[in-house]
Structure 1
Amino acid sequence: MQAQKMEAIGQLTGGIAHDFNNLLTAVIGSLDLLLRRTDDEKIRRLASMALQAGERGATLTAQLLSFSRRQHLSPVPVEPNQVVASMADLLARSIGAAVTVELDLADDVWRAMVDPTQLEVVLLNLAINARDAMPSGGVVRIATRNLAAVPDALTAELNPGAYVAIEVADTGAGMTPAVVARAFEPFFTTKGQGKGTGLGLAQVYGFARQSGGTVRIVSAENEGTVITLYLPRTTEVADPVAIERLTQATGSRQRILVVDDDNDVRGVAAQMIEEIGYQVVAAASGSEALTEFGRASFDLVLTDVVMPGMSGVDLARRIRAVAPAMPLLFASGYADVATFGDELAAETVLKKPYRIGEVAARIGDALSAESAQ
């Protein structure tokens, strides 16, 4: 019943986050353009304050999408011990001198298939939560171990197989059974007003489930808390880290097709791209985009993912059928990777809400990659 409740909350949360990401894309994009077009210091100050508020909203929607398992992850084979060890200094600085960080890393811990950046975010969230449970100081212990089989208590959630466990334990105040039962729900918090959004543990839960694992809390009042991440083992070996290319839009007059069913988002995206220096043709649907694509030549297509009628991925398939080398970017705040899979690889997704600098860099990368082939 608890799992079904969390699933229902996740579906509702994901839909709300999707709608808010579209609103925030229009708001943040408009403010970004306004800042570039005015020298009035009062206007710039007000616009900057509004932009900061919009970006805080974007952070909240990102956490909601994480909980609902709709964030875009880029899982690769990861060495958990390396990730934890490399974060030791960061964790110590983040949680302060009153709390001691101890590592208990088992030998020969298996690789896990997981998004390394999001794993670091999750571990940092858990460490900060542990610190908040110990206002007078204490110990945070991070441990790793292998699990050759799924524990009996988790067979309803995890597929059979081997897993890697990462534990974050504290010596803090602990939780009552009632709090443990609701700890992963979004916006549930025991912290005072203004001291927490209630999304930290919800984000941890969503990340673990979307990664093919789960998370568990063991806690008792005045006895501390242990939160354990269970992540699927992989025998794959990570590819060598690629050197990132730093690209910048050159302001060429290349033509870009922008597709989005939301009028405000489409308008802001088009103005951003024109501001960078490209020619833009905008379409409100997949079918309209195909009509435009048949009328003129384009150098890149930027399309929303979730649209009525024809999705952005369906549109991409139709375009690639006639122009296999066409560079494509997907804009989404609600990218369902379980549905669209590898067609939404990390390098092809522009996450809503986006800033004009992100748009410029991503378009420059896509066009440079195409010209290098």
Structure 2
Amino acid sequence: MIYNLLATMASGFESLTAKELQNLGYETQTENGRVLFSGTQEDIVNSNLWLRTADRIKIIVADFKATSFEELFDKINEIAWDEYLPMNASFPVNARSVKSKLFSTRDIQAISKKSIVNKLSDIYHRRGILPESGSTYAIEVRIVKDNVEITLDTTGESLFKRGYRIEHGGAPLKENFAAALVMLTNWHADMPFYDPTTGSGTIPIEAALIAKNIAPGLNRKFAFEEFDWFDDSLLSSAKETAKKQIKDINLNIFASDIDQNMIDVAKLNANNAGVLHDITFKQIALKDLKIEESNGVLISNPPYGVRMKDTEEVHQLYKQMGDVFEKLDHWSKYYLTSDLDFQGFYGKQATKRRKLYNGAIRTDYFQYWA
């Protein structure tokens, strides 16, 4: 069976996810915050297993127009829900509405749930409440300008949950966000890489996973594994294939932080990700850094003003970064911060800046190309 599928991602990363899917062999269509493609169960497995920048993979169960709750109920009731939900399925329904006549998400959720229960009760010859004691099948009803889209989540916990990060700092980057930062640079595996404010180590770990071609979903579980209609053998087969594709290469990846406790955390996370021996970690203050390598890429996610009470301390750090790193003529430097005055304190205008959202925080990715 061929499914209409969509990958969701943080705003600003659509082109990266689309390129990832295209590299996996899919034709794509890009919209705000999502990329559409199609495929079989095997493709559901591969996209969940391999996408580094996406959040979720969803099946588009149906799409139609509805301007009344009666119309919404009837059209949802027409869907062959037994193709997706067994009799004991637990199926939470989430609702979203944008610029539509049906705007109450609470009512959309209730009507949709009632319609699905009504249909399944008829199909499975049940009266009253369904048990919902089985596996979870998360459903979303999304209405945009009166166009209704019903989706089934195949991922479960967001794809940023790689499974390696047991410990983290106070404001860690999500793993898929960190991967995207690396993929937005010109770095290749044969080049030096440095993260001088590494915290829990997410950025260099993601860089190592990319360089070694380690599938980001290799050590995690997915919602589709519990679907009673899903072929159990597909994931195990895909993981075995992925393991054979891991590259055994030497990497020049360096990461440092002023806090030894964070270095210890980063090492633990790198070990869990299987890349501890691919990254050189060191506890050192930024102002004391001496980088001997050339033609490399540096990525830093320094503290933002919102994460430190003393903004003067943050600005002093930015000045130190400019003093230390602008001497690296043959390095490309990339800095993520919510402080839009970063360039002034750093002491140089960026070659390019890109607006991104780190969760709800508006950030800019300041890029200084060699």
TM-score when scaled to structure 1?
0.29
TM-score when scaled to structure 2?
0.29
Structure showing greater relative contact order (alpha-carbon pairs closer than 8 Å, 6 or more residues apart):
1
